[in-house]
Amino acid sequence: MSIISEMVFYELIRKLEFALDIKPKNEQLEILHERFKNSSERIIEKAIDYLIDNYSNKYNKFPQVSEFIEAIREVGKESPDQTNEDLEGRKVLFTCQICRGIGRFIDEKKSPGGVEVFCQCEKGQKLYDNRQAYFEARRIK
C-alpha cells in the first residue's frame, strides 16, 4: 500500500471528470487533494471507480468531499482484504482538516476580514441542509 502521489491523484480525478462530464473548479480540486493526499492509492482508485459507477449527476456538480468519503466507506465495506493502512486512512478521514470538524470556516479570500462559509465536508453539508430545511419550513407556514 502506498500513499497516493499528486500525479496519480490528478490522473484519477481527470478520469472521473471525463466519465461524469463535469469540470470541477481548481479550488475544488485543491480542497480534494488536500483532503485525500494521505490516503492510499488503492483506496482512492477504488473510490473513483465507485463514483463513476454510482454517482448521480442530478445537480451537475462535481462530487464533493463528503461524496468521496461516502465512496471510500462503501468500497471499504466491499473489500474483506482491508489492510490496517486502509482502516487508518478511513479513521483519519473522519475529521475534516479544513473546518476541523466544525462544518463552517472563515474564507479569508472573500471580502476584507473574510466571510463565514459552510464547509464542503459531510458536517458542513449537513449544517447547510439543516439551514435550507429551516427556511423551507418557514416559507410553508
Interface residue list for Zn ion (CB under 5 A): 96, 98-99, 119, 121, 124
Residue 79 DSSP label: -
Closest approach, Cβ 78 to Zn ion, in A, equals 26
Closest approach, Cβ 97 to Zn ion, in A, equals 8
In this complex, which beta carbon is closest to Zn ion, that of residue 89 or of residue 124?
124
Give the number of other Cβ atoms within 10 Å of residue 137's Cβ.
9
Residues 11 and 56: their CA atoms lie apart, in Å, by 21
Closest approach, Cβ 1 to Zn ion, in A, equals 26
Residues 111 and 22: their CA atoms lie apart, in Å, by 28
In this complex, which beta carbon is closest to Zn ion, that of residue 15 or of residue 104?
104
Q: How far is CA 87 from CA 66, 93, 120, in A?
A: 18, 10, 23
In this complex, which beta carbon is closest to Zn ion, that of residue 4 or of residue 65?
65
In this complex, which beta carbon is closest to Zn ion, that of residue 40 or of residue 120?
120
Give the number of other Cβ atoms within 10 Å of residue 57's Cβ.
11
Closest approach, Cβ 96 to Zn ion, in A, equals 3
